[in-house]
Structure 1
């Protein structure tokens, strides 16, 4: 059986499905053609899938402004870009589908071009412009299927998701609406609202890559939604080289999370990451480093591994060359092996992306949530304030004092570890990748 994977080519969207694709390739004998950007080729091929490059996708975070310059959650530019690239990407993908004839297409909630593609193919077949029917499809959700449902009413949603206002924003919305109508007319489809196609695109099978206990109001979702659990494989392919200082840290702590048995270790490991898209907020990393500089005088066994991204690492290296001192209990890296660190960490300071949050739940590591944008405020609200897996801090109000208090609170109040350990046991028993692959395989055989 041949499958096309047309998910959004960002690491936070690729990682959650890698385990599923491995299962489909190695245990279900499926031929998978996985689209992505060239820099993701090795990761995609490590699943056993065949890599095929998207022709027109741009790097998704090149134009993102830091939070202090743009505090709003504004998806208009994102959806405008999706429309622009779809003009070119859709004809190429249709050619590929008509040539390769896949029996299934897998896409995720933000694969807007893929959703447009399915609508265009359906319309072309109905209008007899093409003899190739639209293949069956499966939608993957790597975050809450509908953010509004995290709350009983939309007011709570609006309070967290700060939307812009003003004349320019209203003009942007108008331009997007016009672009959407022109796009729909060009391809002959009925689609007037790109936000609607994102939130309410109908699929017979929807795979959600976290356990149902994380989803608020699970009862509101119909049987097409399958909450399978964490799908990132345990044995993630390691980078060809690993920083020697990090290797020493990893060797000091057994790769079985110490939270489970409250094991005493020589070192209390704290892992810090803001993901790969919103890590341009260097002021948060500065605050973390200053905080650990102060903690070094109080706690001599604390160690922070801080993954800052390559651009920020260059900035820190320039500062170091000019006399900036990194405390001994802080290791700054561009990237770090997240799974290996979560297997050993006592605390995770995170932006609360759903991928990272699902992984920290899987490994039973309590969090300090510092949400930036997108779905992160919703996820932080859920895991910190409702499920009590950690402490949430406002990025605009973060300082060394409240961060130090939050660190001490997590490390000294065992209730956070106990709460997340109970959820971790459920996650460990979910077998998300194999369950998702079975659902997809059975779905293919029934269509």
Structure 2
């Protein structure tokens, strides 16, 4: 960088969800290490980790509102403006209905803030409709950062685009800013026509599906960059749990167990099934492909925990670490936890995986990639979204076993059998060997450094003026 040049300024935009935030934090730190200035727009609950990574935190500002994140559903103004009288609430009061409207109401203040910051590139979560509009107005590139294994895991319905609360704000944005958010986008799939970084490897990547996705996104470039994790960068254990409010896991106790020749098993059902949204509500259409449409987060989580208690309780050769999640009633009705189990509401996942022999997981994309990057085989209990496909990929790679329809396939006996195979300490354990092979492939893809180089390759350098930046 020449003395007269201005350090590149990269702006991140994201939703305040564990799996969407964590992969971005090492990239923030890497860009800062390379001399960039980084600003991060996200809900205020993420301010601590954003600033710890080296970014300047910014709220999303809304006129006449104290909201600092993204809309979870249409607000009163949006309902009055776009929803016909008599429309059932279940048709419009959900996340996908608010995405384009969120862009309409946010863009005026967001553009004010961005004009003051003068970024060179925007890195954003493709769930969000507004980053590409802002980049278009500012004349800068926008880079999507997808924390799943590719667009083919979503395949959302065209029905999501037709309601007036989607088409109305679409027209407002097009008329005001000259950008059609649905030309190359759909709710939850606003991919960049410049570049989309995907936190996976080519062997696990799922491209746009034939038909509507291929039509919409076939010309959008996707680049696999591998796992985005760095144990040196502070991250979120669970976005639904306040930092410092839970008992920490003593790694000394885990190390002592390992020194005595005990294996370590990690059990976590992620952060979505245990959230307030799904804890007491059926997964519905989200879980239809997995036999879970009538199952709640609590029912599935307790089914998994109970099976683990009974399959491994009293086995002195195994220390089981369980991430319970935020719900206070998670253990209600379950038998007492066996003595060889350590239960915590949240644990530092990377630190635990580093010490594990195996992982019982819902197989969210981050959990899958982090486990594979460390050579940890998995017993997969997928829930919805990309997780069933992720579980299929793990099984196909030989790095684990998948309980594809868990209410039918997961039992004490089947779990015990799976774990005996996956945790076999002998040199002939094919699951461990396959996980190690996947780890090598993830490392070779480049990870955080590859992502930083891809972002920096999009920059359009801006020289300083005589008066400064």
TM-score (norm 2): 0.73
Mapping for residues 330-341 of structure 1, pairs under 5 Å: 330-341=341-352
Alignment of 1:47-446 (within 5 A): 47-55=53-61, 56=67, 57=69, 77-118=94-135, 121=137, 133-147=138-152, 173=159, 177-187=163-173, 188=175, 189-192=179-182, 196=186, 198-199=188-189, 201-215=191-205, 224-237=221-234, 243=247, 246-252=250-256, 266-279=261-274, 280=279, 281-296=297-312, 299-311=315-327, 314-316=328-330, 325-384=336-395, 386-393=396-403, 394-397=405-408, 398-412=410-424, 414-445=429-460
1:299 offset after TM fit, Å?
2.9
2-side partners of 1:174 and 1:109: how far apart? Answer: 16
What stretches of structure 1 of length at least 5 have no aligned partner? 62-73, 122-132, 149-156, 164-169, 255-263
Give the deviation of 1:400 after TM superposition: 2.1
Question: Does the Cα contact within 8 Å between 1:3 and 1:30 map onto a contact in 2?
Answer: yes
1:23 Cα offset (Å): 0.8
Q: Which moved more, 1:279-288 or 1:415-424?
A: 279-288
1:66 — aligned with what? none
Aligned residues: 387
Distance 1:295 1:317, change over 3 A: closer
Distance 2:97 2:184 in 1: 9
State how far apart, in whole Å, the 1-side matches of 2:312 and 2:384 are.
Answer: 31
Of residues 31, 45, 52, the one that matches 2:37 is 31
Contact 2:224–2:445 under 8 Å retained in 1: no
- Distance in 2 between residues matched to 1:19 and 1:302, nearest whole Å: 32
Q: Distance in 1 between matches of 2:44 and 2:38?
A: 17
Which whole-Å deviations, capped at 9, do the CAs of 1:354-386 have from their partners, x for residues lacking one? 1111101100111111111121112111122x2
Q: CA RMSD in A?
A: 3.4
Tell me the secondary structure at the aligned position of residue 22 of structure 2.
Answer: helix
Q: Is contact 1:293-1:329 (8 Å) kept?
A: no
- Name the residue aligned to 1:65: none
**Once structures 1 and 2 are overlaid, which stretch shifts more, 333-342 or 399-408?**
399-408
Q: Please, what TM-score do these two structures have when normalized by structure 1? A: 0.76
More helix by share: 1
Q: Secondary structure at the match of 1:22?
A: helix
Distance 1:223 1:115, change over 3 A: closer
In 2, Cα distance between equivalents of 1:8 and 1:242: 23
| Offset of residue 250 of structure 1 | 2.7
C-alpha deviation, 1:201, in angstroms: 3.2
**What secondary structure sits across from 1:315 in the alignment?**
coil
Q: 1:84 to 1:400 in 2, by over 3 A?
A: farther
Q: Report the Cα distance in structure 1 between the residues aligned to 2:70 and 2:373, rounded to whole angstroms.
A: 32
